[in-house]
Structure 1
Amino acid sequence: MRLPKPAIINQTKAIGLSKSFLFFNFNENDIAYICTPLYHSAATVLGFFNTIDVGATILIGRKFSARAYFDEVRKHNVTVIQYIGEMCRYLIRVPPNDLDKVHKVRVAIGNGLRPDIWEEFKGRFNIPLIAEFFGATEGTTGTWNILNKPGCIGRWSPLTRQFGPPRGVGSFLVRHDPITYEPIRDKNGRCVLLKPGEEGLFISGVPEYITAFYKGTKEMNEKKIVRNAFKDGDVFFNFGDLFYLDKHYYMYFRDRVGDTFRWKSENVSTREVSDAISTLPFIQDANVYGVQIQGADGRAGMAAITFNHGISVTTELLQQMYRKIEHELPSYARPIFLRILNEQIVTQTMKHRKIELVEEGFDPNKVTDPLYVLDNLAKTYVPLSLDNYSQVIHSKL
């Protein structure tokens, strides 16, 4: 997991982003509810600045509480809610009640809503419009799903790719090397545009007035730059994220480049694995990452899992999980290890933390949570303890 970097937000970017909610007729009669930290750009630059711009009302929650969330929304007649990360997943895990659809919310704006719960969240709480966006605080453009298209983060047609900030420079989806995750170059040394049905990197032009993305070293900023992409001298910002483009030019977020690992000489997407596990009805959430095994190349998959309230680990549930994973994922992408958590470790913006989990790995000497290891012969996951730990790490996984 990448550590945070201090991103630069100049006045041009701040003013431009403060107009974002106009897509949804955000006006002085709206009441917006935000319960994420104001030191994050989603809350401040989008939520707070857009509210100031039109003279609307903003309700700032002290903290996010899944159980109290819609009580607050109803109490204050909120019309616009802003979500981020895994917030919506926690909301749908709260037991249903007769008041779920009783509110005045007309649009939910945010990023990070997973496709596997999109329709469930929208339907259960009767949200008329979900406006998913993609962007980065340090980036030079962004995308918006203003068409209520489930799962997508915007549209990238031959026409629309030429518009949006920075004007005249454009943003593009380009093919990437699956090993290095760098843009692929053709025989002339230029980037290759993505075709419908392919996955690739999102890059956007850097206007001359932007000289740095981060408050840091030149090397830190240079890592995000793609030069001479389509002609000599052009400069593009590489978001470092993978997207899928369908035949109708809708864009779908696939994974962060940093959230992949290699196992059995294959690249494994942590998001793909997490999405597969999370569709099981008894799973609340799954945080997937790679862990090192002594003497093995690459990293083996491991999933830190939380169950829905009142659910405990049973032999039958472990067998169901095995069958689901076997059916949904190729052999190299199937998690070798499971760690059962009482609650997920997340950032203040509801994003999974991986650093501590990766460092602790699957060693029972370090991990007090229940651990399980894949057993293909038994077609299930079996307990991993000090008794069989040595046997596991010396076996051929």
Structure 2
Amino acid sequence: MGFFRRIRNEIIYLRAALRTLGRLSAIYKTPNRTFADTIEDLAKSKPRNVAIYFENRKITYRELDEAANRYARWAQAQGIGKGDVVALMMENRPEYLIAWIGIIKIGASAALINTNLVKGPLAHSLNISGAQHLVLGAELADAYATATEGLERPLTVWATGGAVQGMQNLDAALAQQSGEPLPADTRNGLTLNDNALFIYTSGTTGNPKAARLPHARVLTMMTGFSAGANATEKDRMYIALPLYHSAGGVCAVGTTLTVGGSVIIRRKFSAREFFADCAKYEATLFQYIGELCRYLLNTEKQPRERKHKIRLAIGNGLRPEIWPAFQKRFRIPRVLEFYGATEGNVALMNYDGTVGSVGRIPGWAKKRFNVELVRFDLESETVVRGADGFCIKCAPGEAGEAIGKISDDPDTPTGRFDGYAKKEETEKKILRDVFEKGDAWFRTGDLLRQDKLGYFYFVDRIGDTFRWKGENVSTAEVTEAISVFPGIKEANVYGVQVPGTDGRAGMASIVADGSLDLDKLRGHIEKELPEYARPLFIRVSPEIEVTGTFKHRKVELVREGFDVKRVSDPIYFNSPVDRKFVPLDEALHDKICSGEFRL
């Protein structure tokens, strides 16, 4: 990186970081002020500004606040108040935001339930929420019915968007309530430390955990994104991500709804309609997840994909192998990549757009955003401690687990760790006695590396990185190498057990078009990856299963491995004898498992 570019980037970081710190610090100066107050103030100061665009509807701030007041009064009529929880399960639409804003107006919490869940995982999420009432979109009534046998307590279910037999009619109940401002003393005694939302982890490796989001965290996330994007009331944020997750439902929403701007809500993500929507609603911002960007790149060219007013795309997981192509094809002036988690206290933003990086913390801001990378042993899946018993910081270029110092000091606004609904799950994420006796740090569970200039780069999720032939293999790096090959639309890389061998062999589940050339793919892999990182098995699937936030699911793939008796998809073996990918059948599978092939 040249000298003048480094100076330019330093100035960009200085301005953005100071703006962010200023706005975040202001949150703690008014400890009784919540996001509900923000909406109420905007309803008074900017009543005609459009808060929400949805399909053919426009909802102003005045209308948003009035609708939320009806929800608040409905909740009070059910005896719901401070400390209580209402579960919310509904597809993307304005009523989703209206519901939880109304619920937090009276000091209660909203548990945002993943709309893709059914049966056991759905029952689990409802059980740990502690809710007695469920606000349910009528379109999800069948999904809810699959979970009722697993509920630990009966729920009063309120259907909205249509009548459902056996459920209360929420729309009728709301129509009986007033939209007038709530009494001034409604939130007396409520502070930033009180809980506002429960948002669930994606559940890629097990049942979801309910992360606590107090009002302070909600405002910190919203304000941090708004400041990072330098949003104003003229901005319009396009949201095609699910509202039950923090990326779409808190960060994206708060980017504009904290400053009088607009959100444009899409019911469900559509790659073909994405930029047509951006053009139609004159969006200036959109929130992305890395796989969303890959889906967009895999679509055929659309008439309006460059005829939009987008000035900034903000999100996380945009991989370096597609970053420049994505920005160029869709004419995106700026990308603001970030790193963070719903419940975490490690927050990074790549303000200057350095391709592949998730952000940097300038030296002068280190005390305000205390993040470290510590050495990690992949085989034992534990941090490495020195002879003195303390953790060892990584050298530049060395991958390690990212950790954030836990602090309630207002001068370190992202230092909070509020944990989960279950205390035992909270304790698992805390690393103690890290650099000195008594200190406590949040464990991200992610491997990052930092270069000599201080830029952080995501390496892999702990548990996704595996060892083969005595070397550590990053699934993310292998995925990058495979995904750029012509004919491959998606790739999901993981490690599988092979009898008689140490570690795990690489396997890739891919979605490909009809023109995929396996011989050329093998040559590409040999060129791009060291021998130990080259996948031994290729599974060609019609699609890759993802979570609602586009994260690849791997648990079932790892469990099935390369067993042709369990997998109906075609599997190919990178044969050391034939020096090419050959179809895997039962006979070949048995030879591999018996050790006939030296791998």
TM-score by length of 2: 0.62
- Contact 2:286 2:310 (8 Å CA) reproduced: yes
Q: Which is worse superposed, 28-37 or 46-55?
A: 46-55
User: For 1:110-136, what per-residue CA distance to the aligned partner results, in whole angstroms no more than 9, with x for missing partners?
Assistant: 011111000000111111110010001
Deviations 1:11-57 (A, max 9, x none): 11111111122222211111111111111111112012333211211
Match of 1:136 in 2: 341
Q: Pick the aligned partner of 2:374 from 161, 170, 174.
A: 174
Give per-residue Cα distances to partners, 1:221-248, cap 9 Å, x unaligned: 2221111222221111011111121121
Q: Deviations over 1:312-333 (max 9, x none)?
A: 44xxx11111112222222222
**Among the aligned pairs, what percent are the same residue?**
44
Distance in 1 between residues matched to 2:396 and 2:587, nearest whole Å: 51
Aligned pairs (5 A) from 1:114-193: 114-164=319-369, 170-193=370-393
- The question of whether the paired residues in 1 share the 8 Å contact of 2:272 and 2:302 is answered with no
**2:209 matched residue in structure 1:** 5
Q: Residues 389 and 148 from structure 1, CA distance in 2 versus in 1: closer, same or farther, beyond 3 angstroms? A: same
Conserved? CA contact 1:2–1:258, under 8 Å: no
Alpha-carbon distance change, 388 to 187 in structure 1, aligned in 2, over 3 angstroms: closer
Pair 1:251 & 2:451 matched: no
Inter-partner Cα distance in structure 1 for 2:368 and 2:539: 46
Letter in 2 for 1:54: V
Indicate yes or no: 2:440 matched with 1:235.
Answer: yes
Are 1:376 and 2:376 counterparts?
no
2: CA distance, partners of 1:247 / 1:340: 40
- Give the CA deviation at 1:161: 2.4
In the alignment, what sits opposite 1:113? 318
Task: Please give the alpha-carbon distance, in whole angstroms, between the structure 1 residues aligned to 2:420 and 2:246.
Answer: 14
Q: Secondary structure at the match of 2:591?
A: helix
Q: Does structure 1 residue 27 correspond to structure 2 residue 27?
A: no
Residue in 1 aligned with 2:419? 213
Residue type at the aligned position of 2:556: E
Looking at structure 2, the residues matched to 237 and 377 of structure 1 have their Cα atoms a distance apart, in angstroms, of: 47
Give the number of aligned pairs.
386
**What is aligned with 1:15?**
219
Structure with bigger helix share is 2
Equivalent residue, structure 2, for 1:346? 546
CA displacement at 1:286 relative to structure 2: 0.8
Q: Give the match's secondary structure for 2:376.
A: coil
The answer on 1:320 being equivalent to 2:524 is no
Q: What amino acid maps onto 2:509 in structure 1? A: A
Determine the structure 1 residue equivalent to 2:590: 390
Q: Is the 8 A contact 1:321 1:380 kept in 2?
A: no
Larger C-alpha radius of gyration, 1 or 2? Answer: 2
TM-score by length of 1: 0.92
Asked whether the 8 Å contact 2:378–2:465 carries over to 1, the reply is no
- Alignment check: 8 A CA contact 2:238 2:263 kept: yes
Aligned match of 2:495 in 290, 305, 308? Answer: 290
Give the RMSD, CA atoms, in angstroms: 1.9
Q: 3-state DSSP class of the match of 2:307?
A: coil
Q: What secondary structure is seen at the aligned counterpart in 2 of 1:115?
A: coil
Q: Structure 1 residues 192, 388: CA separation in 2 closer, same or farther (over 3 Å shift)?
A: closer
- d(CA) in 1 for partners of 2:385 and 2:362? 22
Residues 135 and 143 in structure 1, CA contact (< 8 A), matched pair in contact too: yes
Answer whether contact 2:349 2:358 (CA < 8 A) is retained: yes
Check whether the contact 2:236–2:282 (CA below 8 A) recurs between aligned residues. Answer: yes
Amino acid at match of 2:444: F
Which of 354, 364, 368 lines up with 2:564 in the alignment?
364
Q: Which shows bigger deviation, 144-153 or 276-285?
A: 276-285
CA-to-aligned-CA distance 1:45-76 (integer Å, 9 cap, x gap): 20123332112111111111111111111111
Q: In structure 2, which of residues 466, 473, 481 is the aligned counterpart of residue 261 of structure 1?
A: 466
In the alignment, what sits opposite 2:508? 303
List alignment gaps of at least 5 residues for structure 2: 1-203, 410-415
Query: Counterparts of 1:348 and 1:303 in 2: how far apart (Å)?
Result: 21
